[in-house]
Structure 1
Amino acid sequence: MTYQMLWRVVAPVVTSAATATATATVATVAALCAIPAAHAQAPAAWPTKPITMIVPFPPGGVADTVARPVAEAMSRSLGQTVVVENRAGAGGGLGMAQVAKAAPDGYTVMMTLSSISIIPEADVILGRAPMYQLNQFTPIARFTADPTVLVVRADAPWKDAKEFIAAQKKGDREVTYGSSGNYGSMHVPMEMLRSQADIRLLHVPYTGAGPAVVALLGGQVDAVSTGPASVLQYISAGKLRALAHWGEGRLASMPDVPSLTELGYPVQFAQWSGLFAPANTPPAVVEALRNAARTASTDSRVLAAVQGAGSPIQYLDAPAFKTYWDGDAKTLVQVVRKIGKVE
């Protein structure tokens, strides 16, 4: 076979192999070039820095009592520190407004109370622009839902709620009660009782449950209505006395304390604690927060801290919490409208 004849046989094979090799090389290069682009489009891992949990009340109240062990448990789940910051003022409104306006990136969340539903309506009644709207928040989880408890000092002249109410009806002197601020979750239940029992009470607002309880202990006010977590330690120590509560049945932490409904005053109020993020927080971040909150709700250290303070965990995940919150907010708005303008 001559050289020319041999080339006619081999050339197509060589050309085909070269073409295949070139095609493979181009495909490989293209794939390698595509790798950075794919990585650029992938979402960054979350969280990559510490998270701030705003508590819109001073230390010592129910929200703070729940927030601190929950923040620690969520830190362990998320792999980043969750830092609790108390931002008190305006019955919780200042801190809530701050979270409402925060960047919706999951790095600012809030542990707050049922008063979140009250403040916007109270602002309207007072003729001012609301500090925030409820649709500026995304509910993550509810942790507790306790009826508030009517508490006086252990040396007070009233041994039970019947004596307390009877004394106010006689009007021997004006009885004062402390709260976390106008229209807050310590003010509203007392106004419900005042209206239902037709008694006189003088409201003295403070910046949070902690300062109000301190004022009660110090004799600056005669009574408070607050969650068990704020006062159980003082009741156990013999410094305060619980007279009644705003729930339905008896409380596990205070089995000898009757409800106001039992005593013939059908008023009910729950001071719940819930975790929120700003509205429009990305769904993936909300899901991560929900998972961390769910884990925290069963954490042994959280249970010991919260239940030890007299507030059993009554956990609701986001969908159920949203339904509960909507219904509770409608009820509280009607109560605030009935209270009317408070100077």
Structure 2
Amino acid sequence: MNKHLLAVALATAAATGPAHAAEWPSRAITMVVPFAPGGVADTVARPVAEAMSRKLGQPVVVENKPGSGGAVGIAHVARATPNGYTILISLPSISSMPTADKLIGRQPMYQLDQLTPIARITADPTVLAVRADSPWKTIKDFIEYGRKEQISYGSSGVYGTLHMYMASLANAAGLKTLHVPYGGAGPALLGLLGNQIQAVAASPASVKQHVDSGAVRVLAHWGDEPIEAFPDLPSLKSLGYDLEFYQWSGLFAPSGTPRDALEKLGDAARFAVEDARVKKTIEGAGLPIKYLDTTDFTKYWQQDASGLIQTVQRIGKVD
């Protein structure tokens, strides 16, 4: 190739490079929910994905990949090609599972540095739920009973957030408990409703309809401020237990995803949380939208992950 043709080729490449990048997205995007349908992540994912589809001009398809407390789906995204076409919506357990795996001598399925935050969508303190026909009318009843007799509780999986929250309460209050892991928050709640377990830590959104129907009673929450859905519900901190956990949902992409794609995904996430239909659906389910952009979510995630990792280490190896 002579110098003239080389110059033309380089100029063409320079001109077409940005244009090619601007074409993203040119096909459907998969939003992985690493839990079974029915939990917080799934509840948030579906309206958010629909709104993001409208903003991006391409379908954002929700795909549930449950297993190992969320690790299967998270690892799938962590290992995905970082091109913006595979993203994740996850919960705080994303932060603790690699540490938990190391604690029990198992190779982690993913590492935190394999994922990059896009945006936080919601944040809500977890509530302690029991069947309405249980003998416990208050959290004090529950604790007094649990110090004498074993209480079975369900979770989304070993070392998942719901497991850690209940294990932390058991440790702080001196309760006798039996942990029964399920494949997600939804199945754990069904286990409670089916009388397979006696208690569960859950999001206010997932239990509100069952509280309203008279099937479930909530006893306390892990937050620091009153919960809108249950304004009279006491916090564990108000009872003297230094326990504070929030069940947030956030979007992630594989590390190395091009900045252009991340920015467009972030813009689409902001569009979604500001969309009237999304607000109506998510807030109608009892989930407060607490949006954080990429910068603020990254800072929040670092701090939250540090606290959760310390919690896992304090709980130690469990069966």
User: Residues of 2 paired with 1:327 and 1:31: CA distance?
Assistant: 50
Secondary structure (helix, strand or coil) at the match of 2:289 reads: coil
Deviations 1:61-109 (A, max 9, x none): 0000011100000000000000000000000000000000000000000
User: Residues of 1 paired with 2:110 and 2:278: CA distance?
Assistant: 30
Shift of the alpha carbon at 1:41?
2.8
Shift of the alpha carbon at 1:249?
1.8
What are the equivalent positions in structure 2 for 1:249-264 lying under 5 Å apart?
Answer: 249-264=225-240
Give 1:83's match in structure 2, choosing from 57, 61, 75.
61
Q: Which amino acid aligns with 1:254?
A: F
Alignment size in residue pairs: 314
Shift of the alpha carbon at 1:266?
2.1
Give 1:104's match in structure 2, choosing from 82, 87, 92.
82
Secondary structure (helix, strand or coil) at the match of 1:170 reads: coil
What are the equivalent positions in structure 2 for 1:25-174 lying under 5 Å apart?
Answer: 37-44=13-20, 45-171=23-149, 174=150
Deviations 1:20-52 (A, max 9, x none): xxxxxxx9x999988854554334201000000
User: Residues of 1 paired with 2:310 and 2:168: CA distance?
Assistant: 11
Q: Structure 2: give runs of 5+ residues left out of the alignment.
A: none
Give 2:253's match in structure 1, choosing from 246, 264, 277.
277
What are the equivalent positions in structure 2 for 1:323-338 lying under 5 Å apart?
Answer: 323-338=299-314
* Structure 2 partner of 1:215: 191
- TM (normalized to structure 1)? 0.88
Q: Which amino acid aligns with 2:53?
A: S
- TM (normalized to structure 2)? 0.95
Distance 1:38 1:231, change over 3 A: same
Q: Structure 1: give runs of 5+ residues left out of the alignment.
A: 1-26
Is 1:237–2:213 an aligned residue pair? yes
* Structure 1 partner of 2:167: 191
Q: Percent identity?
A: 55
RMSD: 1.8
* Structure 2 partner of 1:11: none
User: Residues of 1 paired with 2:158 and 2:289: CA distance?
Assistant: 27
Shift of the alpha carbon at 1:229?
1.7
User: Residues of 1 paired with 2:98 and 2:178: CA distance?
Assistant: 24
Distance 1:30 1:223, change over 3 A: closer
Is 1:299–2:275 an aligned residue pair? yes
Deviations 1:162-210 (A, max 9, x none): 1010111122xx2100000001011000011001101111100000000
Shift of the alpha carbon at 1:140?
0.3
CA contact (8 A) 2:148 2:176 kept: no
Secondary structure (helix, strand or coil) at the match of 1:150 reads: strand
User: Residues of 2 paired with 1:250 and 1:54: CA distance?
Assistant: 31
User: Residues of 1 paired with 2:153 and 2:302: CA distance?
Assistant: 29
* Structure 2 partner of 1:17: none
* Structure 2 partner of 1:202: 178
Shift of the alpha carbon at 1:239?
1.0
* Structure 2 partner of 1:340: 316
Q: Which amino acid aligns with 1:161?
A: I
